[in-house]
Amino acid sequence: MSQISQQTADVNAAIDAELQLLDPAVRTSRALAARLLDPEFVEVGASGRRWTYEEMLAALPDLDGGGGSGNGSGQSDGGGPRFEPSRMSGVVLAPGIVHLTYETDFGGRRARRSSLWRRRDGETGWRMYYHQATPVPAAAE
């Protein structure tokens, strides 16, 4: 496989994994989410809160986008709002490191998002290493 083809495949794999993390079925399953988050994961959310791997896995079922009613049960009824991603693109920064950028809309709230995905030597799957969300004010383009 050529270097360009490999980079395209890596970006596409990271995009696929990012979309999985936006899926309510994954967000409400600690086991599924744990496969997609790097053990050294850190997030700075749109609220400004900093999250670690364990904090995120514990809270993810009850956070926005779980597709549930937000009743804190950790169970999704599929009827709640979902993150709607747009303009997702990525670039390989180095072998095993992909940077994704995109926007989401969640019930009228927009955010610009940036994720770093990494695949360590000997591993086949991509894991999110870092994520940051920045709210977009209603008047901003």
Q: What is the pLDDT of residues 12-38, one digit of tens each?
A: 999 999 999 999 999 999 999 999 999
pLDDT for the residue 53: 97
Q: What is the pTM of this model?
A: 0.86
From the CB of residue 137, how many other CB atoms can be counted at a distance below 10 Å? 6
d(CA 50, CA 43): 6
What's the pLDDT tens digit per position in 52-97?
999 999 999 888 877 554 433 333 445 677 889 999 999 999 999 9
| Pair 95, 56: CB distance under 8 Å | no
Residues 128-140, mean pLDDT to the nearest whole number:
90
Cα dihedral 126→131→133→134 (10° resolution): -130
